[in-house]
Amino acid sequence: MKIAQDTVVAIHYTVSTPDGVDIDSTAGDEPLQFLFGHGQLIIGLENALLGREAGEKMQTTVPAADAYGERHDQLVQAVPKNMFEGMEPQVGMQFRASTDHGDQSVIIIDVSEDHVVVDGNHPLAGHDLSFDVEVVSVRPATAEEVQHGHAHSPGGCGHNH
């Protein structure tokens, strides 16, 4: 069976920077299982998987625009340190911040005496990504999986919808 809309796919993958620095991998772990065509993967990887079959291996480089997007300087801003009352902000801390456009994940990238610089870009924004992928399995999704919008484990999805 070929990977297509509403198939449940399991893959092993290693993702790295184009110069070979590994970022994440399923090696030695369970494969990643997902419902294809429901936005659960970055679009560039999903496009590269379309039409593949179990047992196939592939390598692909996904440009930043089709991965986590380009970096946007306007998502980096300095905020008064007193907004972090009751905590000691440190570089690398991640949290959800309320913005005019709803809640957004941000990471602290600098701390000074008076300000904290936060970055709302995804940490991989602006980076091309290289993938080594092995398609482990492909099967039709059940009607319930399609309705729920995600793949289920053999015993069901484990939560109520």
Query: In this predicted structure, what is the pLDDT of residue 104?
Result: 83
Ordered per-residue pLDDT tens for the chain, 161 residues: 999 999 999 999 999 998 889 999 999 999 999 999 999 999 999 999 999 999 999 999 999 999 999 999 999 999 999 988 888 999 999 988 777 777 888 999 999 999 999 999 998 999 999 999 999 999 999 999 999 988 987 655 555 55
> How many other C-beta atoms can be found within 10 angstroms of the C-beta atom of residue 99?
12
Sheet holding 102-111, edge to edge: 76-80, 115-119, 102-111, 94-99
pLDDT at residue 161, rounded to an integer:
52
pLDDT of residue 135: 98
Q: How many CA atoms lie within 13 A of 49 on its CB side?
A: 32
Tokens of 102: 């709803």
CA distances from 143 to 8, 11, 150 (A): 12, 22, 11
- Tokens, residue 100: 């005019």
Instruction: Assess contact for 3 and 51: CB atoms under 8 A.
Output: yes
H and E: helices and strands count for the chain: 2, 9
Query: CA 1, CA 22: separation in Å to the nearest integer?
Result: 30
Q: Is there a contact between 8 and 34 (Cβ–Cβ < 8 Å)?
A: yes
Hey, what domains does the chain have and what are their CATH numbers? 7-68+125-148 (3.10.50.40), 73-119 (2.40.10.330)
Strands 94-99 and 102-111: antiparallel
pLDDT at 159: 55
Amino acid letter for position 154:
P
For residues 130 and 80, what is the distance between their CA atoms, to the nearest angstrom?
Answer: 38
